[in-house]
Structure 1
């Protein structure tokens, strides 16, 4: 896709960190960076008569212009030579950025905006976009230095293949190694029976070694076509027996980027963003890209 990289800004420190990351993403892709601010009139009661501060529209316009100038300056410092455009678009941030995703190849946002309550770990804009955007969404959180591998969460499902493809392409663009991580488990790995008694379900699930061999096959098949497309890429695989969310969050501590699908093979058909994707968006220690499998 030849569209721009789009970054949403609202003046928050998280958004400015996203600008730095987005600028570099635009540079490695050799495309334009588009800085977008979504503007809505604040709900307020305007006093009657002339205001000593001047027209409200003028004050707000100056604030928005300062915000954009700061973001554009950050982008040009982070990635000199990248073409940068900017725009103020009327509407809620979620709606504006979702519309931008129709022509963008990547949307980048911070993990929390200026409107979030302090107790919220992740802004609603990032969650909503990850579930609804028409292109991959990168949520900048944790450390954003480009050290460590790109980690791809591989579950072997058809809907997870776009995320695997994105991870391969992103690792190649960054000149990074790729770590393909596949987490598997048996029912017995999930603690106690619901009535409180520990259970051993080995007799129900069959031979564990056989199950592991099957999961190894699933991982290999999920990667085979992408390996042929990127023969120069250094690829490592990791087969982890355990719970998916803790395994991915732990891997993010050593990664420069974690790539996940919006919904894995265990999700319900009507859910646009699965529990694993939401968990890593809230708790990963590096930026996370969520890739949907379709509209």
Structure 2
């Protein structure tokens, strides 16, 4: 079996500007990981091959210009983009896609496909948006809820903060249980009682990773509100937002599986979705 650190960063391309931005971001990520890059374009029709190869060549040129020390391999595959990328993700340390396709290909790698691979891929998935031109400053932000997926997300986030030599902001979004009485009468006491519990839970979740990553400065934040809104707001100036998917556990209500889908559509910065048991 190939060691995880020997696996390439896989990039899904469709010839659009968002996919090119994703490839350039992935080149920097591959450089941080000392990993190879595999650029993949997928089409249903062999008549598209020339167009696909041209888009691959263009993206590879940009990646080599950005990070000349990174080895770049180009591949054209046939089939459905989401299926091909999910299948290939089993042999990748990270899958990178853009958030939206604007190319002329029959099936863009991006858009709905980016959501599909983020939910199903065998490795962590990074979805890159074009809303900002630079992601080289700011902290790594991670959502925490105590679930298996959240623990995998924490591992990814701590490793990412270490590689980037930046701070980590760990966020637990708390919502109090409804008491059946008016919010005006009961909410303040319920919030503060639950907030103490949430702060202790967050500290406990971070303890192991703080010990193994003493070089990372960690800021803890317990927020009250809607998980998607709070995470997106907190990551507005981040390099990266990391969330788990398909979590369960005592704090499941804090960061349900749909949060991953929500932040993919609204976050300004790159988003990494990590499923339980996945490693960087």
Please say whether Structure 1 and Structure 2 have the same fold, judged by a TM-score greater than 0.5.
yes
Q: Distance in 1 between matches of 2:75 and 2:143?
A: 34
Q: Which residue of 1 is the match for residue 142 of structure 2? A: 152
Q: Which residue of 1 is the match for residue 84 of structure 2? A: 96
Q: Which residue of 1 is the match for residue 97 of structure 2? A: 109
Normalised by the size of structure 1, how large is the TM-score? Answer: 0.82
1:159-214 per-position Cα deviation (integer Å, ceiling 9, x unaligned): 3100011000011111111111111121459xxx8xxx9545739x9754332111
After TM superposition, give the deviation of residue 63 of structure 1 in Å. Answer: 2.0
- 1:208/1:253 CA distance change after superposition, 3 Å: closer
Q: Distance in 1 between matches of 2:51 and 2:264?
A: 30
Q: Are residues 1:71 and 2:54 paired?
A: no
Q: Which residue of 2 is the match for residue 246 of structure 1? A: 229
- 1:209/1:199 CA distance change after superposition, 3 Å: closer
Q: Which residue of 2 is the match for residue 82 of structure 1? A: 70
Q: Are residues 1:202 and 2:192 paired?
A: no
The answer to whether the 8 A contact 2:135-2:240 is kept is no
After TM superposition, give the deviation of residue 39 of structure 1 in Å. Answer: 1.8
Larger radius of gyration: 1
Q: Distance in 2 between matches of 1:101 and 1:214?
A: 38
Q: Which of the residues 165, 183, 186 maps onto 1:175?
A: 165
After TM superposition, give the deviation of residue 265 of structure 1 in Å. Answer: 3.7
Structure 1 residue runs of 5 or longer lacking an equivalent are 43-56, 117-121
1:79-132 per-position Cα deviation (integer Å, ceiling 9, x unaligned): 12100001101111101110111010100000012369xxxxx71111111111
The answer to whether the 8 A contact 2:82-2:113 is kept is yes
Normalised by the size of structure 2, how large is the TM-score? Answer: 0.86
Q: Which of the residues 10, 17, 33 maps onto 2:14?
A: 10
The answer to whether the 8 A contact 1:40-1:92 is kept is yes
